[in-house]
Amino acid sequence: MRVTETVEGEAARVRKIIHIDMDAFYASVEQRDHPELRGKPVAVGGSAERGVVAAASYEARKFGVRSAMPSVTAKRQCPDLIFVKPRFEIYKAISRQIREIFAEHTEIIEPLSLDEAYLDVTENLQGIPLARDIALRIREKIKAETGLNASAGVSYNKFLAKLASDHRKPNGQFVIAPEMGAAFVETLPVGKFHGIGPATSAKMNALGLFTGLDIRNQTLEFMNANFGKSGAYYYWISRGVDERPVRANRIRKSIGAETTFSTDLDDFDALVVKLSPLVDKVWRHCETSGSRGRTITLKIKFADFEIITRSRSVPAPVGGRDELERLACGLLEIEMPLPKRVRLLGVSLSSLQVGDDAEPQLTFGI
């Protein structure tokens, strides 16, 4: 990549960003470890009536099976679907192996989850001139050491690198050079933009914005007026511009836990009993990581799958497990009596800080 970006009239060195995304990670691990599952539609998750798909193999995806889909729906769409219980400790161990491979090339690694990460290889530890060659070496070593396939996207910013990694999945690699960026985005449906969910996509469509080019044809003032703080971000990515750095040791925005009940509940005391182990999980992570937060969010999913969240922010970080439970129960109590029976509860803590270093964060549910 030799073309340079221009920032405020000054030439800036082009960054080299790689987005690595493991292919159907959980399901691929299960197929690797259980040869009888290879070539078959596999879903990692609970097969019970109220279970949810955590991951689906590519064979299952052909039938429309997707992560976060209710297991009943997945089984209806793919009658031959094989459910496998998740083994998160195994997935975490493999993820650590993969990150060690990343670390052979750069110290600037931003993990997004167990199975994907951004790498800034503008200056890389092995002195390899082309980012595409670094991505290829990483994918080859992941395959050799874990037996799993990874896809990679290479570009001059994070937004385009992630688009590129999706472009040749599975087990593929694609480069979006600076001279390709704007043209690549202009035909892209807004629903395919990373960071634009169904609600925002529908709002854009209602405003006549269906592709990257449609957004690019709008003024910054129009985007800000209709999309608030996100408007500028959409305006610039439609032009192939994304100045976000790859953030090593990225600060986590929230810590959360949730559970789906075997039967729907609407009794306050019964729901409080279900909240207690969720509070335990969240506080255990706080203790382990040294994180503390000021915003408590309660997530409620009703029997008809409607979801509501209720949040409360306190002046000082929550100081203990009992305080967290009291605040979470208080949010639940305000909603009583509930209009419908509940199938899922979740608790999260955000506006996180570590020690005395506070960093304001957005409040959101899990």
Q: Which residues are catalytic?
A: 116
Distance of CA 122 to the CA centre of its chain: 24
Beta bridge partners of 20: 117, 152
What's the residue count for the chain?
366
| Residue 285: both structure tokens together | 């992570």
Alpha carbon distance 230, 250 (integer Å): 20
In sequence order, which residues have a C-beta less than 8 Å from that of residue 67 and are 6 or more positions away?
53, 54, 55, 56
Contact 120/108 with Cβ under 8 angstroms? yes
Taking CA atoms, 200 is separated from 211, 223, 232, 255, in Å, by 13, 12, 14, 25
Of 333, 286, 280, nearest to 310 by C-alpha is: 333
Beta strands in the chain (DSSP E): 5-7, 10-12, 17-22, 42-45, 53-56, 82-84, 109-113, 116-120, 150-155, 173-176, 254-265, 291-292, 295-302, 307-313, 342-350, 353-354, 357-358
Angle between helices 198-206 and 220-227 (to 10 degrees): 130
Of 244, 215, 220, nearest to 232 by C-alpha is: 220
